[in-house]
Amino acid sequence: THLTETPPTSPMKNFFAGGFGGVCLVFAGHPLDTIKVRLQTQPKPKPGESLLYAGTIDCLKKTLAKEGMKGLYKGMAAPLIGVTPMFAVCFFGFGMGKKMQQKTPDEILTYPQLFAAGMLSGVFTTGIMAPGERIKCLLQIQASTGEVKYAGPMDCVKQLYREFGIRGIYKGTALTLMRDVPASGMYFTSYEWLKNVLTPAGKSHNELSIPSVLFAGGMAGIFNWAVAIPADVLKSRFQTAPEGKYPNGFRDVLRELIREEGVGSLYKGFNAVMLRAFPANAACFLGFEFAMKFLNWMVPDL
């Protein structure tokens, strides 16, 4: 049966295959990420004025009209440099989490165990993720506010470090943890669950068709973000706010958002996120599975 065919979990292979998945994810998802951040951080209109962007499609049209296709890929160097190792670390953390819980190399884990392994991967990625997100958000909003303070990612790191030290670079870490730990658990569990559901009886996971992998990966992205969006909105606000605006951290951001814009504002950018989550994560898992097959064939005993 298919149990014997599952190669034992190899965190190293997960690392390389995850990195390749990350590259696929950025190419597929970056345009909608730019739109998501612009929608989440757009200023509240003055009385009598309308919002800068009416919604996802409007923001897409305006960005294309003003900046062309290049505008949608603004700030992509940072996520490519950041996401590739981050997904490598993310899948590595998931591999480690699985390996730590397996008594034998081919033991099939339960869903709660997979969830725990996924949460571990969220802890692993936050170390890279928090500063990367802080820099990405700052660069993405300066293009739409028109005030250019940072020349690029490295310049942004230098200026933040000069002004606020290492804490300035890691601003929003607690929020990144709150977002990524439960969301990563959700991400990997839903992917494994959908793979199980889509695998015909008597067949192995390795024989899943490309459309099935794309569907499972895309849906995993949607489950992941359904859990992550509220913390993500708070994090985007907090990380792009002027220094000292929220002295008590995310509690202040949460209070202000709910007071001014209601609970619904915690799901700001929902359409952009969901539209992006499906193709980006479908591309990511397809890239991951493809790289895994390649590695199992190239270096079977790694």
Tens digit of each residue's pLDDT (9 = 90 or more) over 183-213? 999 999 999 999 999 998 888 887 889 999 9
Coil vs helix vs strand at 104: coil
Residue whose token pair is 């009385």: 47
| Per-residue pLDDT band at 5 (split at 50, 70, 90) | low
How far apart CA 271 and CA 260 sit, in angstroms, is 21
pLDDT tens digits, one per residue of 22-76: 999 998 888 888 888 888 888 888 888 888 898 889 999 998 999 988 888 887 8
Residue 9 has pLDDT above 50, yes or no: yes
Mean pLDDT across 288-295? 95
When pLDDT is cut at 50, 70 and 90, the band that residue 255 belongs to is very high
Element containing residue 216 per DSSP (H, E): helix 210-240
215-236: burial string, b at 16+ Cβ within 10 Å, e else: bbbbbbbbbbbbbbbbbbbbbb
pLDDT band at 6 (very low <50, low <70, confident <90, very high): low
**Residue 247: Cβ-neighbour burial (10 angstroms; 0-12, 13-18, 19+):** exposed
Give the CA-trace dihedral at 26, 28, 30, 36, to 10 degrees. -130
Question: What phi, psi does 74 have (nearest 5°)?
Answer: -60, 135
Residue 73: φ, ψ to 5°: -100, 20
Residues listed for the chain: 302
If one counts every other C-beta atom within 10 angstroms of the C-beta of residue 159, the result is 15
For the chain, give the longest Cα–Cα distance.
67
Residue 118 CA to residue 186 CA, distance in Å, equals 7
* pLDDT-wise least confident of 141-145, 154-158, 184-188: 141-145
Q: Which residues contact 258 (CB under 8 A, 6 or more apart)?
A: 265, 266
Provide, rounded to the nearest whole percent, the portion of the chain with pLDDT above 90: 45
| Per-residue pLDDT tens over the stretch 205-248 | 878 899 999 999 999 999 999 999 998 888 888 888 887 888 88
- Give the end-to-end CA distance of the chain in Å, rounded to a whole number: 24
Read out DSSP for 6-65? Answer: SPPP-HHHHHHHHHHHHHHHHHHHHHHHHHHHHHHHPPPPPTTPPPS--SHHHHHHHHHH
pTM score, whole prediction: 0.79
